[in-house]
């Protein structure tokens, strides 16, 4: 039975979650094959769906109380709450010998990250931050193509970024009369791309046309990306396409 993917109840981990609504809901879904033994969320309305799904599981508003009362029933804890509490909640878990999965951003300060590292080594617990997407095949393929020089010598990376008029990315005034520095962005709609064909011919796609194509194919690409049955075929196709010279930018 084990070769068919079956797990006996004794082989499953007992998972608790600090956070049950929003992003925490999908993180709990990722552990649905294990035993969900406790849920904690200060917002009962936002967490209502998960609370109803796990009706028999103890519910808490204070994660400290959950860790104290369920200490003997918990093997690992999901921490998916507002980031200013990530380090505090994760530290409480590790000090009690609980393995933790903490969503990004891990901490607010470098000091907090170092404290968590020391705690993980001290209490011998397994830890993971919720940025495993960077370990997916597509990201590794992109890195390998750049390292192999498939698109030439990369000297100027561009990042799509929407600048807000206020807040962290805006020009709002700070305390003591200081002003945030302006954020330099690139308007991709006004940036043209030149493409060379193996025959020697070349043509240019305007930024507006490229933007229109991207928008028109957004949902198709999104659905295709998450259709895991087709993922191997898609990966093989993209490797072949991206290795051809006609899809490289002209220098």
Q: What is the pLDDT of residues 104-148, one digit of tens each?
A: 999 999 999 999 999 999 999 999 998 877 767 888 888 888 888
Q: Which pTM was predicted? A: 0.57
pLDDT bin (cut points 50, 70, 90) of residue 249 is very low
Q: What is the pLDDT of residues 48-63, one digit of tens each?
A: 999 999 999 999 999 9
Q: What structural domains and CATH numbers belong to the chain?
A: 2-133 (3.40.50.720), 136-247 (no CATH)
- pLDDT beyond 70 at 230: no
- pLDDT beyond 90 at 182: no
* Mean of pLDDT values over 66-86: 95
101/146 Cα distance (integer angstroms)? 31
């Amino acid at each position: 039975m084990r070769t068919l993917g079956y797990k006996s109840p004794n082989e499953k981990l007992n998972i608790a979650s600090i956070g049950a609504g929003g992003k925490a809901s999908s993180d709990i879904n990722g552990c649905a094959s294990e035993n969900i033994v406790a849920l904690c969320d200060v917002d009962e309305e936002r967490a209502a769906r998960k609370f109803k799904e796990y009706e028999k599981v103890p519910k808490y508003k204070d994660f400290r109380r959950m860790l104290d009362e369920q200490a003997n029933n918990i093997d690992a804890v999901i921490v998916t709450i507002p980031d200013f509490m990530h380090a505090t909640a994760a530290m409480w878990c590790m000090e009690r010998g609980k393995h933790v999965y903490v969503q990004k951003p891990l901490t607010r300060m470098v000091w907090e990250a170092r404290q968590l590292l020391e705690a993980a080594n001290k209490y011998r617990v397994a830890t993971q931050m919720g940025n495993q997407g960077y370990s997916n095949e597509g990201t590794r393929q992109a890195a390998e193509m750049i390292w192999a020089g498939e698109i030439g010598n990369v000297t100027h990376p561009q990042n799509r970024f929407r600048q807000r008029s206020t807040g962290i990315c805006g020009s709002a005034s700070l305390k003591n009369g200081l002003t945030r520095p302006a954020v330099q962005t690139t308007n991709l709609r006004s940036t043209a791309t030149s493409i060379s064909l193996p025959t020697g011919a070349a043509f240019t796609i305007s930024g507006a046309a490229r933007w229109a194509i991207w928008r028109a194919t957004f949902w198709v690409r999104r659905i295709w990306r998450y259709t895991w049955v087709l993922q191997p075929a898609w990966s093989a196709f993209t490797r072949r396409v991206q290795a051809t010279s006609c899809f490289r930018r002209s220098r």
